[in-house]
A = this chain, B = another copy of it.
Amino acid sequence: MPFDISKNTNYEAHKTAHRTNLCGQMDTSFVGREVSLCGWVNNRRDHGKLIFIDLRDFTGIVQLVFDPALNSEAYRLAKTCRAEYVLKITGTVNKRSPETINQDLKTGQIEVSVEAMQVLNSAKTPPFLLHEREKVEEMTRLRYRYMDLRTDQMQKNLRLRHHVTAQTRNYLNSKGFLEIETPILAKSTPEGARDFLVPSRLNPKKFYALPQSPQLFKQTLMFSGFDRVYQIARCFRDEDLRADRQPEFTQIDMEMTFVNADDIMATIEGLLAAVFKNSIGIDMQTPFEKMTWQQSMETYGTDKPDLRFGLPIQDLSSLFKDTGFKIFQKVLQKNGCIKCLACDSAHQFSRKDLDQLVEMAKSYGAGGLIWGKIDSNRDFQSPVSKFLGKNEIQAMVEQLRLKEGSLVLIVADNFKTTCNALGAIRKQLAQKLNLIREGFKPLWIYDFPLFEWDQKNNCLSPMHHPFTSPSPETISWLQDAPLKVKSQAYDIVLNGEEIGGGSMRIDDIAIQKQIFKLLNFTDPMIEQNFGFFIKSLEYGIPPHGGIALGLDRLVMILGSLTNIRDVIAFPKTQSAVCMLTDSPSGVTQRQLEEIHISLKEEE
């Protein structure tokens, strides 16, 4: 059920000196009453004897009728009105005659006969028609954002966003959370890649950084005895922008003390259930499904699987363990694996489609993709049929329960590449075969590796962040086999999107230091970047953990939207520019001097 503005409007509260009611509020219960309304001209229809104006405010549209017999001055003024003029009218609500009733409009049973009108403001011809939003180039809509925001769609999106944040706050407040603001002018660190820096005027040659997250501050609040805190926090990351990223974005960011991971997950489940119920009327079953990282990678080839469809990845490694097929042999010798997807409707896949899937697999680093179809003779039609033994094919048909019309897609490579390639192909198949069911399928992924191997820099890197607690069961591997250590981290995935992630944090200074060392941080680096934080770990730190949800993405999912800029009032483009205000922009030499910097000479 989409978000409904009228259900979320307290009409009485909007009564002001200028108006008694709102446009979209008008229905047959108002017939005979005098009302004062304000709004924008949505359109005007001049019928000679009568003029009709559709007046618009955020609640909807109501039809005004101007009759020169009723008020000739208002009629004369109405003649001059054009789209987006701002009007204030007083008139009487009347029933429309049966033949003029508009069933598509909430207010379509009535109209308002205008007795007095004031043109509060005029308007130039708009740069585009609001109801044609979908046809307008996005750059134009961003440049005239104040017009774009007047459209039904954007009104609905930002009202939904408000509602989601209000619900979030109500829920967390009721659960004993405090909202505590942390600095935006935060600490810059020499290692702070992707930090936005802010030169200090009062402290020459020093810089603040805008926070990529309030992580260390919210942990510090736990050290300070606040028990549970949250923020709907603005975060900043100076990344090369992707379509779904913004240089500033918003997180629902929280932290709790004297809890374990289950406490935190239960809190998020309650929060999301409340938000879904109260914003779009969806009942979410709690507790949510949970899956280990390993299981998710093996079954869905990703750590953010979309559970709105099945199509699990299946393993054929043991089936082919004694195969004569050279390619499979080689992979298995190198401790790789043979995995596949199997689906129906093979006939829907042309040779061209299959070639595209092969290319997709290669783009994920796989050597190739082997496909095969079960034909009407129940034979396995595949470029590699001749390399496979009859028994092997028979065993595969049985294991995968293949039948006429089945399609099998096999990747044989190392574990990671195989999973990644098949995970991507799985999503592709679901779309092509229309397997994605309506609804919302939340899922917890847990038992992540604490570290991953950074090929490029040839070192360990944290899978989440360096404050994530190792799981007690695997902590003994820390020194000797750190890649075997699991973390107490958990990600929340919804319909194939990661909407949040969190963890229990390290509360032991020795382990925190050990992990910094494993990440190749030298003592001076630790001191410079995290000195205050390490120090604070010595003064009585409670067990604590937290999580952050991406608000922008959550609202997108709730609103069934695909463009992140549609849930942000004043977003930036992919080149980090605000089209409305023309920001960023140049500054004067005097301004630069005041903050003790100069522009770098180009070489």
Which residues does A use to contact B, with CB under 8 Å?
A: 9-10, 13-14, 16-19, 38, 40-41, 56-58, 84-86, 88, 120-124, 126, 144-150, 154-155, 158-159, 161-162, 165-166, 169, 173-176, 178-190, 192, 195-203, 205-210, 216-217, 220-221, 223-228, 234, 236, 238, 240-241, 247-248, 250, 256-260, 262-263, 507-508, 528, 531-532, 536, 538-543, 568-570, 572, 575-578, 580-588, 591-593, 595-600
Contact = CB atoms under 8 A, between A and B. Distances in A.
Nearest to A59: B227
A582 B256 CA distance: 25
Given A166-B179, A203-B576, A203-B584, A146 B224 contact: yes
Scoring A150, A161, A532, A588 by chain B CB atoms within 10 A of each residue's CB, the highest score goes to A532
B542 A259 contact: no
Task: List 4 tightest A-B contacts by C-beta distance, closest first.
Answer: A149-B224, A123-B540, A84-B540, A206-B584
Given A181-B250, A582-B531, A238 B201 contact: yes
Contacts of A582: 187, 531-532
Contacts of A178: 158-159, 162
A179 B170 CA distance: 14
Contact of A226 (B58, B176, B216, B591): B58
Scoring A159, A228, A507, A542 by chain B CB atoms within 10 A of each residue's CB, the highest score goes to A542
Contacts of A203: 575-577, 584
A155 B216 CA distance: 19
Nearest to A264: B16
Contacts of A224: 145-150, 154
Per assembly, the copies of the chain total 2
Given A576-B200, A599-B205, A600-B592, A185 B227 contact: no
A184 B236 contact: yes
Contact of A187 (B210, B225, B581): B581
Contacts of A508: 121
A178 B10 CA distance: 12
A17 B259 contact: yes
B188 A587 contact: yes
Nearest to A165: B179
Contacts of A180: 158, 161-162, 569
Contacts of A16: 256, 258-260, 263
A583 B226 contact: no
Contacts of A182: 569-570
